Amino acid sequence: MPQDSLSKITIPKDEVFNFLLRHLIASPLLFDDLNHFQTGSIVPINRRDFMLRISNYGRRSFYLNNIQLISPNICTAGPPIRCHGINGVQMAIESDHKTRFSPPTSYSANPQSASAPTTPWTLLSTLPVDL
């Protein structure tokens, strides 16, 4: 287990499934596929009430809801799953209606100045699942 600030995050047992869903894109996408999304694009995930906003400034500066993708293409061997290391946790906001977008939770509020941890803790997975 990494020894960074993300490794200290506690997730209640009844929230683990929702936590995982906030980190799953519905299609298996390698970084080269993700890199085609322009800044401002909205990507659905495996929760109907939560989406990811893309900020694409190139391979070393790619963000999902202001959380930097720091290790692309970690899992690529099997056909149904693609994993990428990110330096933050996609958190839900509960509102009067439904959760729409997660708040910025990376190490920096400014995506262009965010620093990556030495070890990616959270994985953004992409797989074809209809949950």
pLDDT in tens, 62-104: 999 989 999 999 988 877 888 998 888 887 665 433 434 444 4
Averaged pLDDT for residues 50-69? 92
Residue 72 belongs to some domain of the structure: yes
Residue 97 belongs to some domain of the structure: yes
Arithmetic mean of pLDDT over the chain = 73
Task: For strands 51-56 and 67-75, give the pairing.
Answer: unpaired
Residue 44 belongs to some domain of the structure: yes
Indicate the number of domains in the chain. 1
Residue 82 belongs to some domain of the structure: yes
pTM: 0.65
Residue 50 belongs to some domain of the structure: yes
Q: For position 42, what pLDDT does the model report?
A: 92
Q: Which domain covers residue 56, as residue numbers? A: 5-126
Residue 9 belongs to some domain of the structure: yes
Residue 131 belongs to some domain of the structure: no
Residue 107 belongs to some domain of the structure: yes
CB 101 within 8 A of CB 94: no
Q: For position 81, what pLDDT does the model report?
A: 84
Instruction: Give CA 68 to chain center in angstroms.
Output: 8
